[in-house]
Amino acid sequence: MIDFPLTGNSRVRDAVLSAFAEDRIPHAILIDGETGTGRHTLARYLAMAAVCSAAHRPCGECRACHLAKADTHPDIRITAPEDGKKNISVAQIRAMRSEAFVKPHSAAHRVFVIDQADTMNEQAQNALLKVLEEPPGTVIFLLIAASRSALLDTVLSRCTVFSLSPPDQAAAFSYLQSVCKDSEETIRSALTASGGNIGEALRILSGADTAAAKDAADAFVRFLLKGDAFEMMKVTAPFEKSRVETDRFFKELKLAVAAEARRAPAGGATAKKMTRFYESLTEAQERLVTNINLGLLFCSLVSQAIALDYE
Ligand SMILES: [Zn+2]
């Protein structure tokens, strides 16, 4: 089972985990809390758990979990205000409602995530209520809202509510320290700037981290071209401590590899090598969501890079 980072909301986490362990997943869940408190993290975790095929859900390793992670699982639907609109329309809710009666494609459940549920007007909420009153057995509704006060009592009474609150400063600080390699001072100032909000602090910190990841990715590509495994391992070593950092590094590395492939003469050895390496990188990225050891992940990636020279 994959771990569940919900810093400062351990009571909510325990409630969620015990609901899954006992196989009593509510049909309608409302996750409320300010932006940056982990609402989407929790919603994604629940959606993944609902479609996962393993005994201890979500395993993070099965096909369903991978699809959920990539936001491509056919049984997970997300409804949010359409581009440029402020509200989720009644038409959107009606469309979702009729879809709710279709059998799941591959999972045991279909999950309908309603993001910014507090933007539904009364008419839309009443349309939702119809299906909440008699939900098909396979369906789970996950409502995400900044505040439950905009929701009708009739809707609220059908939902199991998980309220997320911002973690205390000490918990927020130690969480950020565990996922970022920035100095204590940088982390503190990001936390202050964000008013103690972890999601916001991470956004502030990622600006600086992206530059570091980009430099590392450029260096990696230089050593990849030379086939220098030792130097490649040296570049990846600092990332072994954190999945968040590794994820950032992989994203930058993909961009750098794609740029190198475009620069190289079409059909030549370098272009081919870059294309093949890009594939290995995509696989490594997928394995990142499992609990694979990061040292091993980098080691296998570098060996694949070296093997390309002998093909
Ligand atoms: Zn799974």
Ligand 1 centroid–CA 219 distance in Å is 35
Ligand 1 centroid–CA 60 distance in Å is 5
Ligand 1 centroid–CA 50 distance in Å is 9
Ligand 1 centroid–CA 112 distance in Å is 18
Residue 258 has what pLDDT? 92
Per-residue confidence at 8, pLDDT binned at 50, 70, 90?
A: low
> Does residue 132 carry a pLDDT above 90?
yes
Name the residue ranges covered by the structural domains of the chain.
10-165, 205-310
Ligand 1 centroid–CA 108 distance in Å is 12
Ligand 1 centroid–CA 39 distance in Å is 21
Q: How far apart are CA 246 and CA 235, in angstroms?
A: 11
**Residue 167 DSSP symbol:** P
> Does residue 79 carry a pLDDT above 90?
yes
The closest alpha carbon to 119, from 158, 153, 86, 95, belongs to 86
> Does residue 93 carry a pLDDT above 70?
yes
Q: How far apart are CA 306 and CA 277, in angstroms?
A: 10
Q: Residue 309 in contact with residue 80, Cβ under 8 Å? A: no
pLDDT digits (tens, 9 = 90+) for 242-260: 777 888 899 999 999 999 9
> Does residue 20 carry a pLDDT above 80?
no
Average pLDDT of the segment spanning 33-50: 86
Ligand 1 centroid–CA 43 distance in Å is 15
Q: How far apart are CA 209 and CA 146, in angstroms?
A: 28
pTM of the model: 0.60
Question: What sections of 194-293 are H helices per DSSP?
Answer: 198-226, 229-236, 243-263, 269-287
Ligand 1 centroid–CA 47 distance in Å is 11
Q: Residue 141 in contact with residue 114, Cβ under 8 Å? A: yes
10-165 placed in CATH 3.40.50.720: no
Q: Residue 252 in contact with residue 206, Cβ under 8 Å? A: no
Ligand 1 centroid–CA 103 distance in Å is 20
Residue 1 has what pLDDT? 61
Ligand 1 centroid–CA 102 distance in Å is 22
3-state secondary structure of 143: strand
pLDDT digits (tens, 9 = 90+) for 180-203: 878 888 888 888 777 777 887 887
> Does residue 3 carry a pLDDT above 70?
no
pLDDT digits (tens, 9 = 90+) for 259-301: 999 999 988 889 999 999 999 999 998 888 777 889 999 999 9
Q: What is the mean pLDDT of the chain?
A: 88
> Does residue 78 carry a pLDDT above 70?
yes
Query: Per the structure block, which two tokens stand in for 152?
Result: 């009708």
Ligand 1 centroid–CA 49 distance in Å is 7
Ligand 1 centroid–CA 53 distance in Å is 5
Query: Per the structure block, which two tokens stand in for 178?
Result: 């565990």
Q: Residue 113 in contact with residue 78, Cβ under 8 Å? A: yes
The region that residue 174 occupies, defined by phi over 0 for left and psi between -120 and 50 for alpha, beta otherwise, is alpha
